[in-house]
Structure 1
Amino acid sequence: MKALRIIFPLLAALPASAPAVARQPAEAECVVPSKPGGAMDLTCKLAQKALQSKADSPKLKLRYMPGGIGAVAWHTIVSQRRGEPDTIVAFSGGSLLNLAQGKFGKANADDVRWVAGLGVDYGVIAVPADSPYHTLHDLMNALRRDPEKVVIGMSGTIGSQDWMKMALLARQAGVEPRQLRFVALEGGGEEFVAMQAGYVQVVSSDVSETSIYTASGKARVLAVLSEKRLPGAMAAVPTAREQGFDVVWPVIRGVWMGPDVSDADYRRWVQAFDRVESAPEFARMRSQIGLYPLALTGDALTRYIRQAVADYKRQARQFNLVREH
């Protein structure tokens, strides 16, 4: 069967060229639309750390607003806090997939203002350090024998990006995705807590979420869903492609703002992230949490988001996962 892949081009950032903008405040807020410990949390913490490295940037406080894999935060900001000039919200490729599938109701990509992409992540399939599965083939063979004996932890429900990653791999292994036994959890932190407790045997996750647990020796990655091997801590981990499964899954991570934020305040934030992302120390910060380079802010990011949502929607329709409104 022809492989189903989602690969978005990495666009070059546009240079900032705007009139004078408002001054940065002393404090601002980054909303994490999940519980602590997942990649959304890491996204806000990366923004927090990067901004702290610049003297003219605000001190960024984190606020957790879990629920609906980002839906609660989305609707709270869009309906009640539309014009807050100093509130940014973390997003990921999973947020865009939910938008594409109609899981945020009638919401669409143009309902908010896209500020900055901080990096790109990649999907992984991970198991406990003492798992009997040592390769992706080991896992897929177990699923072929009895898919209900292997419990898979994922963030979200059917149609989420974690579900999609495993569904694509299973389909290539000759296993019907709806036969798989998933446990739906809220964010990557809960996935790994469940795995350490023995409630799930496998986690469909991402490099940034997994790096914390592999570094501590609590988890082992069977495959990364990148086009080629990744540098750094994941260099020894084979891709799914190397193991005969042609599945690639990149995940953009970044921040957005409410739709009624003024042009001046929006430009202020875009320029703030342009400055921090161009600094040499940002590359080190990004690498430390398992993200890879992606230079997108403002208009360039907005165009990328629109195209990504359209691409996700086309892919999701092949699985009959799009809710039409």
Structure 2
Amino acid sequence: MKVKKSFNFILATALTLGLAACSGSSESGGKNTSASNYPTKQVELIVPFAPGGGTDAVARAYADAMKNHFSEPIGVVNKTGGGGAIGFTEGINAKADGYKATLITGDFAILPNMGLVSFNKDDLKTVAQLNADPSAITVSADAPWDTVEEFLEDAQKNPEKIRIGNAGTGSIWHLSAAALEDVAGTKFSHIPYDGAAPAVTALLGGHLEAVTVSPAEVSAHIDSGKLKMLAIMTDERLDKYKDVPTLKESGVDLSVGTWRGVGVPKDTPQEIVDILTEASKKAVEEETFINVLDKMNLGLIYKDDKGFREVIDNDYELFSSLIAKSNIKQQ
């Protein structure tokens, strides 16, 4: 089976919340702020999700690693709610002087495309991408499929028979399965849960046939032999799972994943962005940062401000197309 259509996008949890976001505070002083002595005080890093998760871990590891390359400390502040919308909105509306940054996740791309907020992808200026993780097709260890080819063949012959759990309607893990439907000519039953962890629990309990979450979210159960990973939705095999093929190896040209990075209000002077980007590049090379991501099975991928902007722009457009095809946009 050869499928030529390719998707590379990012999606995340969608909630029915419409929050208006202005393009930046009127007192931001974006054009008047001098970078000659930046920074002179602590920088606040907004994390739009609760402590303890992968996003929070990346943010805190980043803040810690920046100590050796940034003259002032970075304080992590969790601002939760609205699938990330509350934290993103605060970051967008902050004074554009480099002293309030935001840990951007894929939710920043999904919320506008779902019609849930008023802000758009250009309301935060990118600093650096820090992380990326692919979606993976994971099933029970005693499932009847030993290869992704067998899994997809069964799905093609039996539309909607295979129940795939996700982290909520419109989430990255929902739409990664929807993308697989689109490129492989299958039809699944999509079962939403309040996060990836409950979906994985449902799979362990025999209430699902599969999940399309990240390797990090199933790694413990893979290691214990309770689950097996049939394929990874990325361009190359992962070092930790070298025996797990990519979908592309099976002729399904699909790469889907999530990412995390740093952004600042859009009117922030480029000179300040350059300082943050340069320090960020050095920070992600710190052993402490590498070890935290490795321990949590999170992928480390660095891109500078321009590279990160390209990732967001490309994923945003492809995501918009898939949302329309999936007919799940909020009315």
- TM-score over 0.5 (shorter chain): yes
Q: Does residue 256 of structure 1 match 2:256?
A: no
Select the residue among 160, 174, 179 that pairs with 1:163. 174
Q: Distance in 2 between matches of 1:187 and 1:62?
A: 22
Residues 36-73 of structure 1: CA distance to partner in whole angstroms, max 9, x if unpaired?
54x434433442453467685636445261433x3343
Q: Does residue 245 of structure 1 match 2:257?
A: no
Query: Residues 47, 310 of structure 1: CA spacing in aligned structure 2 closer, same or farther, 3 A cutoff?
Result: same
Q: Does residue 151 of structure 1 match 2:163?
A: yes
Residues 258-316 of structure 1: CA distance to partner in whole angstroms, max 9, x if unpaired?
45667676555434313202446644544444444533233443344334423433555
Residues 133-185 of structure 1: CA distance to partner in whole angstroms, max 9, x if unpaired?
43223433443454444332112314x43233222323444324xxx322223
Q: Does residue 272 of structure 1 match 2:279?
A: yes
Instruction: Tell me the percent identity.
Output: 21
Select the residue among 263, 285, 295 that pairs with 2:302. 295
CA contact (8 A) 1:121 1:290 kept: no
Secondary structure of the residue that 1:153 maps to in structure 2?
strand
Q: Distance in 2 between matches of 1:149 and 1:41?
A: 36
TM-score, structure 2 length as denominator? 0.72
Select the residue among 41, 46, 55 that pairs with 1:40. 55
TM-score, structure 1 length as denominator? 0.73
Query: What amino acid maps onto 2:109 in structure 1?
Result: L
Q: Distance in 1 between matches of 2:138 and 2:132?
A: 19
Q: Does residue 223 of structure 1 match 2:231?
A: yes
Aligned residue number for residue 89 of structure 2: 75
CA contact (8 A) 2:50 2:78 kept: no
CA contact (8 A) 1:46 1:285 kept: yes
Select the residue among 117, 121, 135 that pairs with 1:109. 121
Query: What amino acid maps onto 1:50 in structure 2?
Result: A
Query: Residues 98, 129 of structure 1: CA spacing in aligned structure 2 closer, same or farther, 3 A cutoff?
Result: farther
CA contact (8 A) 1:35 1:187 kept: no
The Cα of 1:28 is off from its aligned counterpart by: 4.0
What is the root-mean-square deviation of aligned Cα atoms in Å? 3.8
Query: Residues 66, 129 of structure 1: CA spacing in aligned structure 2 closer, same or farther, 3 A cutoff?
Result: farther
CA contact (8 A) 1:153 1:191 kept: yes
Q: Distance in 2 between matches of 1:184 and 1:106?
A: 25
Q: Does residue 50 of structure 1 match 2:65?
A: yes
Aligned residue number for residue 188 of structure 1: 196
The Cα of 1:219 is off from its aligned counterpart by: 3.5
The Cα of 1:22 is off from its aligned counterpart by: 1.5
Q: Distance in 2 between matches of 1:53 and 1:282?
A: 12
Residues 182-220 of structure 1: CA distance to partner in whole angstroms, max 9, x if unpaired?
222343334334434444332111234343543455532
Q: Distance in 1 between matches of 2:101 and 2:224?
A: 31
CA contact (8 A) 1:87 1:257 kept: yes
Aligned residue number for residue 200 of structure 1: 208
**Which stretches in structure 2 are left out of the alignment for 5+ residues?**
10-34
Query: Residues 203, 86 of structure 1: CA spacing in aligned structure 2 closer, same or farther, 3 A cutoff?
Result: farther
Aligned residue number for residue 89 of structure 1: 102
Number of matched pairs: 305
Secondary structure of the residue that 1:163 maps to in structure 2?
helix
Residues 216-242 of structure 1: CA distance to partner in whole angstroms, max 9, x if unpaired?
555321110122322x21111111122
CA contact (8 A) 2:48 2:78 kept: yes
Query: What amino acid maps onto 2:279 in structure 1?
Result: A
Query: Residues 225, 60 of structure 1: CA spacing in aligned structure 2 closer, same or farther, 3 A cutoff?
Result: same
Query: What amino acid maps onto 1:95 in structure 2?
Result: F
Query: Residues 126, 41 of structure 1: CA spacing in aligned structure 2 closer, same or farther, 3 A cutoff?
Result: farther
Q: Distance in 1 between matches of 2:231 and 2:205?
A: 22
CA contact (8 A) 1:223 1:240 kept: yes
Q: Does residue 309 of structure 1 match 2:316?
A: yes
Q: Distance in 1 between matches of 2:192 and 2:128?
A: 29
Q: Does residue 211 of structure 1 match 2:225?
A: no
